[in-house]
Amino acid sequence: MLYGLNNFFKKILPKRLFYRSLLIVAAPIILLQIIITVVFFDSLWIKANKGMTRSLVNEVKTLFEIYNDNKNNKEEILDIYNKNFDFVVRVKENQIFPSEIPERWYSPMDRSLRRELKSVFGESYWFDTITYKEKVDLRIKYKNGILQISFPKHKIAPSSARIFALWITLPGFLLIFIAIVFLKNQTRPIVNLAKVAEKFGKGEFVKEFKPSGAKEIRQATYEFERMRKRISIHLNQRSEMLSGISHDLRTPLTRLKLQLALLKQQDLAKKMGDDIEEMERMLNEYLEFSRHQKTEETEMTDLNIFVEDILKKYEGKNIKINLEENSKINIRPNSIKRCLVNLLDNALSYGEKVEVITKKTVNNLLILIDDNGPGIPENEYQNVMKPFYRIDKSRGQNKSGVGLGLSIANDIIRSHGGNISLEKSPMNGLRVKVSLPF
């Protein structure tokens, strides 16, 4: 029960920090206004209205009695009333008394008027507060005619209600407006920090940004910047060292190849030459990868057009395309292209039929590459992602591979903040699922 209530509140309450803080500020203000308004209406407005209505009805009663008792000076009495009060009094003889009262049941003014009139005149009264904006039309049964009195509404309704409403709502709006301005300034640095952290996670280029806002937020920003720099330096060092080694190894390899050519046992030299060539391929592959990875900038790219463009090169191959959603995404195009080419090459060299599917989920864009090859046993899913790991050595297929394709693809997708997972495809081969956050 409590858990359900908790969940309900979680669902209806705003998710964003700005709106949550605004609610914390605005809710008490609105609540206070409601309470003050209710108290004002109940204790001040309604009581004043009752008192005023009662005295008005008494005035009318006095007029009615004097008019009734006095035999001769009837006209004079009406004149005095018209002159001294805000009344317009008329006597209409031989008039039919209206039966229905056009009153508003929800109006407190009508309610107290009805109550007071009833206690004095019983059922022989009629009034109309609707037809005229500022006046009330009151009629009392008098012999075979009516006594019609018209008086201004402010005689029975305290006019302060509108001014009160203005005074209570205007400062409320003003306070909420000030809160919005201040809260916007307070939440902006947090939103910026979250955006930068997200960008960094996706491997996008992040400009250095200045800490701003409250002390704690500045501190978090400052620490984030330091962490980001440390990670960048670490990554750079790693790839620079690896490409340095790879580069330097090429010279001794070339020397070895030359020396092999001079070797007398040519069958042995041939075998060793093959191995050296494989080593060179590995090094070249790695060097090319690290060169691209470092320099490329992200670009907004339409993924479907991008995928179609890559697939043009595979014309004549058995590739089915199933592109569902048209979505733009921020990627390093050459790196992603390299990744997809690696995956497509794998699919085509291990299977014959290939299907490429793109899909969109709530946070991610998915690219599925299915084939009808032999697939990969589940216990090898993790291993094949490792550099230079190949299952084919035992299978004896695809001799040209060095075992870097999948790990490079994985590295590229990781650096975009996404991930690659392997599954069994509906065609019984391998399904490579690339998901990229957008």
Ligand X SMILES: Nc1ncnc2c1ncn2[C@@H]1O[C@H](COP(=O)(O)OP(=O)(O)OP(=O)(O)O)[C@@H](O)[C@H]1O
Q: Which residues bind Mg ion (CB under 5 A)?
A: 346, 405
**85: which 2 tokens?**
């009060």
- For residue 137, give both structure tokens: 């039309």
CB of 272 to Mg ion, least distance (A): 25
Closer CB to ligand X, residue 255 or residue 399?
Answer: 399
* Residue 81's binding partner out of Mg ion, ligand X, none, with CB under 5 to 8 Å set by partner kind: none
Q: Is the dihedral of CA 193, 199, 202, 206 positive or negative?
A: negative
Q: What residue 373 binds from ligand X, Mg ion, none (CB within 5 to 8 A, per partner kind)?
A: ligand X
Q: Which does 156 bind (CB under 5 to 8 A by kind): ligand X, Mg ion, none?
A: none
Choose from Mg ion, ligand X, none: what does 417 bind? Cβ within 5-8 Å by kind: none
Instruction: Closer to ligand X by CB, 149 or 369: give it.
Output: 369
Q: How many degrees, rounded to 5, is the angle at CA 326 between CA 323 and CA 330?
A: 110
Q: Kindly state the smallest distance separating residue 274's Cβ from Mg ion, in Å.
A: 19
Handedness of CA 371, 372, 375, 378 (dihedral sign): positive
We find the least distance from the C-beta atom of residue 409 to Mg ion, in angstroms, to be 8
Q: Choose among Mg ion, ligand X, none what residue 374 binds, the Cβ cut-off being 5 to 8 Å by kind.
A: ligand X
CB of 222 to Mg ion, least distance (A): 43
Residue 240 one-letter amino acid: E
**390-397 long-range Cβ contacts below 8 angstroms, 24+ apart:** 397/349, 397/350
Q: How far is the CB of 289 from ligand X (least distance, A)?
A: 10
Binding footprint of ligand X on the chain (CB under 6 A): 342, 346-347, 350, 371, 373-376, 384, 390-392, 398, 401-407, 429-430
Nearest CB to ligand X, comparing residues 232 and 428: 428
Q: Helix, strand or coil for residue 5?
A: helix
Residue 137 or residue 371: which is nearer to ligand X going by CB?
A: 371
**Residue 414: both structure tokens together:** 């990781």
Closest contact distance (angstroms) between CB of 343 and ligand X is 8
The residue (of 405 and 417) whose beta carbon lies closer to ligand X is 405
Calpha distance 353→207 (Å, rounded): 44
Instruction: Kindly tell me which of 308 and 423 has the beta carbon lying closer to ligand X.
Output: 423
Cβ 435 vs Cβ 418: under 8 Å:
yes
Kindly state the tokens that stand for 86. 């805000």
Beta carbon nearer to ligand X, 63 or 404: 404
Residue 21 interaction partner, one of Mg ion, ligand X, none, beta carbon < 5-8 Å per kind: none
DSSP for 216-280 reads: HHHHHHHHHHHHHHHHHHHHHHHHHHHHHHHHHHHHHHHHHHHHHHT-S-HHHHHHHHHHHHHHH
Report the partner that residue 128 touches, choosing among ligand X, Mg ion, none (CB closer than 5 to 8 A by kind): none
Question: Which CB sits closer to Mg ion, 180 or 391?
Answer: 391
d(CA 316, CA 2): 63
Which of Mg ion, ligand X, none is residue 404 near (CB under 5 to 8 Å by kind)? Answer: ligand X
Q: How far is the CB of 404 from ligand X (least distance, A)?
A: 4
Q: How far apart are the first and last CA of the chain?
A: 37
Q: Which residues pair with residue 420 across a beta bridge? A: 434
Contact 320, 353 (CB under 8 A): yes
382 Cβ contact partners less than 8 Å away, ≥ 6 residues apart: none
Q: Which residue is nearest to ligand X (CB)?
A: 405
Tell me the closest approach of the beta carbon of residue 386 to ligand X, in angstroms: 8
